[in-house]
Amino acid sequence: MIFRLPSFAAALIALLPAAFAAEPGHPVARVDVDDRKAVIATVETLREVQARARIGGTVGQLLVREGDRIAAGGRIALVVDEKLALQVQAVDARIQAQQAQRDQARIDFDRAEDLRRSGTVAQARVDEARTRLDVAERTLRAVRAERDVLLQQSAEGAVLSPGPGRVLRVPVNERSVVLAGDAIAMIATDAYVLRLRLPERHALSLKAGDTILVGARGLQASGAPEILRPGRVVLVYPQIDQGRVVADVEVDGLGDYFVGERTRVYVSTGTRSAFVVPPDLVARRHGVDYVRLANGTDVVVQVGAATDKGIEILAGLRDGDRVIKP
């Protein structure tokens, strides 16, 4: 006699071997991770520009101080040359005198034209009067242009910022005597980078586009996990400087740092194999780190650095172990 099982019972029996074959937990195996090294990077500006005086004179007003933020074209100081004001007064007097000469030349020209129509004077007299009027008008325009030059020089006494940024140094004060071209303020542009200087043995392992991890700013609380931010290498300088390779790293949020401030970063100097488990599979009790195996046993482990694949386990696990969430 042949017994036939219902279809759902047959399907259940078919799934039993697969269910027993699937072991619970996360498998522990060696994977390749970046071998990161902690180094110190310095916050620097891509460009440090100088606001210079365009005329010589005395600093009449100083409108900024160290640490101030300034926009492009913002006024930094005002350089005053008292001789320019006196020269403008002299030119104004010359303009008035030249206007009087021009008016007299116009009167002479009008009179000569009237006399020429009546036949009293020759045409040469009229041409001579017209020439004197033209010379007087051109001379007046030249004196007015000279006055415009002096006014422009006075306006150039305003020292303007060549770009947006933060004022680093102001080497002058009010009533200081400066010459044309003297630096009034040093301005750090808003483009900040982290500048790395690594031993030249790492030159081949560092390239543009690599990701680095930037440590927390300031002191870290004891036992607290370090908060890391990603950064990207944007430029590796082709010249070795005193046995060190120099690279610029772009990181968001560097505008609040001091120029020259140092911070800890982690750079990849190669790869190595290590045990890595997800962070939620590691428990910490009484200052000791544990993981739970698939059979329910708690194992003390020594954790290493955090990686993009999880937490590195330095000791306590073997290849082939399976861990579950505690």
Could you read off the pLDDT of 47-95 as tens digits, one per residue? 888 899 999 999 989 999 888 888 888 999 999 988 888 899 999 999 9
Domain 49-79+158-190: give its CATH architecture. Answer: Beta Barrel (2.40)
State the CATH class of domain 82-156.
mainly alpha
Q: What confidence category does residue 97 fall into, taking pLDDT thresholds of 50, 70 and 90?
A: very high
Nearest-angstrom CA–CA distance, 105 and 117:
19
Q: What is the pLDDT of residues 253-289, one digit of tens each?
A: 776 778 888 888 888 777 778 888 888 888 888 888 8
Any residues with CB less than 8 A from the CB of 240 and at least 6 apart, and which? 200, 203
Q: Do domains 24-46+191-324 and 49-79+158-190 have the same CATH topology?
A: no
Backbone angles phi, psi at 299, to 5 degrees: -120, 130
Tell me the CATH architecture of domain 24-46+191-324: Beta Barrel (2.40)
Rounded distance, CA 59 to CA 53, Å? 9
Short-list 51, 48, 71, 68, CA closest to 59: 51
Confidence at residue 5, expressed as pLDDT on a 0 to 100 scale: 44
Q: Is the pTM of this model over 0.85?
A: no
Domain boundaries, the chain: 24-46+191-324, 49-79+158-190, 82-156
